[in-house]
Amino acid sequence: MSESESQPKKQRDFGEQPLCQIMTDLNLKAHALVEASAEQLTHKMVARAAKGRKLTPNVKMKIVRALNKLTEKQYSVRDLFNYK
């Protein structure tokens, strides 16, 4: 048995996230979030977030801050992502 077979696989894909629906409802594209961010936020980070790929807490917060700045609302990580 190889080492990779003995360790349980970490779940990395969590399916479409609430962020995707919020962006659709507000007619926002990834580019709008990237432009609104004062931090280093990339299109790839936003795409991965919407698809449900596991992100670091730092990247999640970049997305939250960019969306809040863009919409002038107060979303939290729990509003945008349904995994920890």
- What pTM, to 2 d.p., does this model score? 0.84
Is the four-CA dihedral 50, 63, 55, 44 of positive or negative sign? Answer: positive
Q: CA nearest 70: which of 36, 29, 43, 47? A: 36
Q: What is the mean pLDDT of residues 42-64?
A: 96
Domain count, the chain: 1
**Per-residue pLDDT at 11 exceeds 90:** no
* pLDDT surpassing 70 at residue 9: no
User: Does any domain span residue 70?
Assistant: yes
Domain CATH number, residue 21: 1.10.260
Domain of residue 21 covers 13-80
Whether the predicted pLDDT of 12 surpasses 90: no
pLDDT tops 70 at residue 4? no
**Does 7 fall in a domain?**
no
Q: What is the mean pLDDT of residues 50-57?
A: 94
